[in-house]
A and B are shown apart, each in its own frame.
Chain A
Amino acid sequence: MNIQRMMQKKDIVSGTCIVVFSVFIFFSTFGIKHLTVSRIGSAFVPRLVAIGLFLVGGTILINGVRNKNDLSEASEQPNRPKRAVFTTFLSILFYVSSIELLGFLISNTIYLILQFSILIPKEKQKIPVIISVAILLSSLIYGIFVYGFQLYLPTGLLG
């Protein structure tokens, strides 16, 4: 029963989000310019997509609400993402936003240190090992791609 209830809650939330999003993109399509004489311009397909999303979002929402009414009240456990996911997301966000400013080597090393610290169980964490592996791995990847494969990677502060 718990799983079923969770599913319905998911359907209500996701259905609502899709409906709102579809309305947003439908109105956004009116901002797309129309240059050709044909009635099928650049806004045609996005508008169809918006209508399609509105319909499927609505169906998901209705299914969620309808099934909810069929069920008795029961305690439920929301499917909370664990802290590791959120901190992983934040460290990737940091990495992505700092790569141009700090350069690949520095931001990748910092990211790896953060990510290792998040994922490695506390009892197995050894800070010197984590830092060494992060520096070694970043240098190795940089060396292979920049010198071995002539790929350009942002140099940032070290440039």
Chain B
Amino acid sequence: MVNMFVTAFSMILSAKILFLVMVGTVVGIIFGAIPGLTATMAVALCLPLTFGMGPVEGMAILLSLYIGGISGGLISAILIKIPGTPSSIATTFDGYPLAERGEAGKALGVGIVYSFLGGMVGFITLFFIAPPLAEVALRFGPYEYFSIAIFSLTLISSLSGKSLVKGLASGLIGVFCASVGPAPIDTLPRFTYGIHALEGGFNLLPALIGLFAVSEILKIAESDKSIDNVQIKSFQIKGFGFSLKEFNSQWINFIRSSLIGTGIGILPGIGSGVSNIVAYSVAKNSSKNPEKYGTGIIDGIVASESSNNATIGGALVPLLTLGIPGDTVTAMLLGGLMIHGIAPGPLLFQNNGELVYSIFALLIVANIAMLIIEYYGIKLFVRLLRIPKYYLLPAILSLCVVGAYGVNNRVFDVVTILIFGTLGYVLEKFDFPLPPIILGFILGPIAETNLRRGLMHSEGSFLPFLTSPISAGFLVLALLSALSTARKNRIRERKEKNGSL
């Protein structure tokens, strides 16, 4: 492992890659800091930049965008009380009250340092978990992959927001969209209706860009333009703004929150949007002074920021070892790797070990870059919060079109972003969550391919799906996950009914 790291660092410590890491981190922080722009959008827009690069250079920019994008959200959360991304929702709870008391510098310092430390915990976990997990996953066949995909699909419930049924509908719409075009195994055309452009099916990247960038633009076009007249709190930052005593008082909170973040990241379908709130709630509930949370104490910022950045390392575990993305950004990264002809999964560790360890090394370098750039560039990022959205959004859409067209040089992919953008906008209007669509879009074909492959293997018998211990284990987990969600949903509905009486 150490040798692999040495080789990886020697590969990435070049001026070009360090430059790409810096650019990626800066752009990521900007996207994270500006409310309405997300890490997913940043990765989507910068994907076309990576087309002409090698896989390591491409991953350098994409991973830095991811890390910068998740961390950047703390700036607006603290200074304008609007989380830049869902990952920083809980940061506003204590960050903004601190800023109101004139301690914005301290809040930013705590946020930046614990983003860095939380990220490191997530990455170290990734380094130790991923290689052995990949070795186990090497023994997986179609039965196991089918069951893992089904288990991951049941986790749609966690992305479903208020309504489980609507989450399921979104997931099924995603599976349907993925089934347009050639079928797996026999490549027979499905749902093409004689339209030539549909024969290749919808590409993942334009679908993602449409769902998460175009629909966002439509949403912002609808929203109140007064968001451009934000009141930004003034601040002074000296050192990191907090004392060694305060740092030492946060050890338990930091480790617990980072582990929560990593754990939530590993589960497919749940990302940093959830982990920061869970970590904040746990920190509050286990504190001796829970009443102080929300009044402007650093504990809240530590919990939120260390957990959301730790989620990055966790989310990369299923992506790299099984080829299953943990959240929407990792879904983008999956697309980014596929563009370079690299299929994430256990074989990646066997055949492209150097790339895997380069990714590990890049995560460390990008995390350090985030710490330095965010700290020293904070004044610049704050200034960028003042850029009017009416200039920013159309420029972003132009980049979306370049990104979509660049995938295959087909105009149909540009049309796809409009189709999915409109679909996303309409579905959100009717309170359907969007992330399950992507999960369905990615996992549907994995489940179908492996089901059919498995049945060919077993000559039409379903029995091996139940007799293979790993496959059966995941199917049981899927069943338990579905039952527990149904139970929770029923309890919530009952509570809501009682509450409304």
* Residues of A near any B CB (own CB < 8 A): 4, 7, 10, 13-14, 18, 25, 28-29, 32-33, 35-36, 38-43, 45-46, 49, 52-53, 56-57, 59-60, 63, 79, 81-82, 84-85, 88-89, 92-93, 95-96, 99-100, 104, 108, 111-112, 115-116, 118-121, 133, 137-138, 141, 145, 149-154
**Cβ-defined contact, A95 with B401, below 8 A:** yes
Among the 9-residue stretches B68-76, B410-418, B464-472, the one with 4 or more Cβ atoms under 8 Å from chain A is B410-418
**Cβ-defined contact, A89 with B455, below 8 A:** no
Among the 9-residue stretches B214-222, B317-325, B329-337, B379-387, the one with 4 or more Cβ atoms under 8 Å from chain A is B214-222
**Which residues in B have their C-beta under 8 angstroms from that of A137?**
395, 398
Shortest CB distance B483–A (Å)? 17
Checking B221, B391, B406, B425 against A145 with a beta-carbon cut-off of 8 angstroms, the contacting residue is B406
**Cβ-defined contact, B190 with A60, below 8 A:** no
Checking B188, B429, B451 against A32 with a beta-carbon cut-off of 8 angstroms, the contacting residue is B188
Q: How far is the CA of A137 from the CA of B395 in the complex (A)?
A: 7
Among the 9-residue stretches B104-112, B120-128, B173-181, B278-286, the one with 4 or more Cβ atoms under 8 Å from chain A is B173-181
Shortest CB distance A22–B (Å)? 9
Q: How far is the CA of A115 from the CA of B44 in the complex (A)?
A: 21
**Cβ-defined contact, B221 with A25, below 8 A:** no
Checking A41, A49, A116, A121 against B179 with a beta-carbon cut-off of 8 angstroms, the contacting residue is A49
* Residues of B near any A CB (own CB < 8 A): 48-49, 51-52, 165-166, 168-169, 172-173, 175-176, 179, 183, 185-186, 188-191, 193, 214, 217-218, 221-222, 225, 388-391, 393-395, 397-399, 401-402, 405-406, 409, 411, 414-415, 417-418, 421-422, 425, 429-432, 444, 447-448, 451-452, 455-456, 460, 500
**Which residues in A have their C-beta under 8 angstroms from that of B176?**
25, 46, 49, 53
Instruction: Count how many pairs of residues, one from A and one from B, have CB atoms less than 8 Å apart in the complex.
Output: 162
Q: How far is the CA of A84 from the CA of B185 in the complex (A)?
A: 45
**Cβ-defined contact, B394 with A119, below 8 A:** yes
CB contact under 8 A between A153 and B191, given known A56-B169, A133-B391 = no
Q: How far is the CA of A150 from the CA of B214 in the complex (A)?
A: 25
**Cβ-defined contact, A49 with B186, below 8 A:** no
**Which residues in B have their C-beta under 8 angstroms from that of A43?**
190
Taking CB as reference atom, which chain B residue is nearest A144? B49
Q: How far is the CA of A81 from the CA of B397 in the complex (A)?
A: 20
**Which residues in A have their C-beta under 8 angstroms from that of B225?**
119, 121
Shortest CB distance A78–B (Å)? 11
Q: How far is the CA of A116 from the CA of B397 in the complex (A)?
A: 12
Q: How far is the CA of A35 from the CA of B397 in the complex (A)?
A: 42
Shortest CB distance B229–A (Å)? 10
**Which residues in A have their C-beta under 8 angstroms from that of B394?**
111-112, 115-116, 119
Main SS at interface, chain B: helix
**Cβ-defined contact, B169 with A60, below 8 A:** yes
Main SS at interface, chain A: helix
**Cβ-defined contact, A92 with B397, below 8 A:** yes
Checking B183, B405, B418 against A93 with a beta-carbon cut-off of 8 angstroms, the contacting residue is B418
Q: How far is the CA of A106 from the CA of B214 in the complex (A)?
A: 20
**Which residues in B have their C-beta under 8 angstroms from that of A7?**
431
**Which residues in A have their C-beta under 8 angstroms from that of B432?**
14
**Which residues in A have their C-beta under 8 angstroms from that of B406?**
145, 151-153
**Cβ-defined contact, A99 with B391, below 8 A:** no
Q: List 20 A-B contacts (CB under 8 A).
A: A10-B429, A13-B430, A25-B176, A28-B193, A35-B186, A38-B460, A40-B452, A45-B179, A45-B444, A56-B166, A56-B172, A82-B221, A92-B214, A95-B401, A96-B411, A96-B415, A96-B417, A99-B411, A108-B398, A119-B389
CB contact under 8 A between A119 and B393, given known A57-B169, A85-B221, A96-B418 = yes
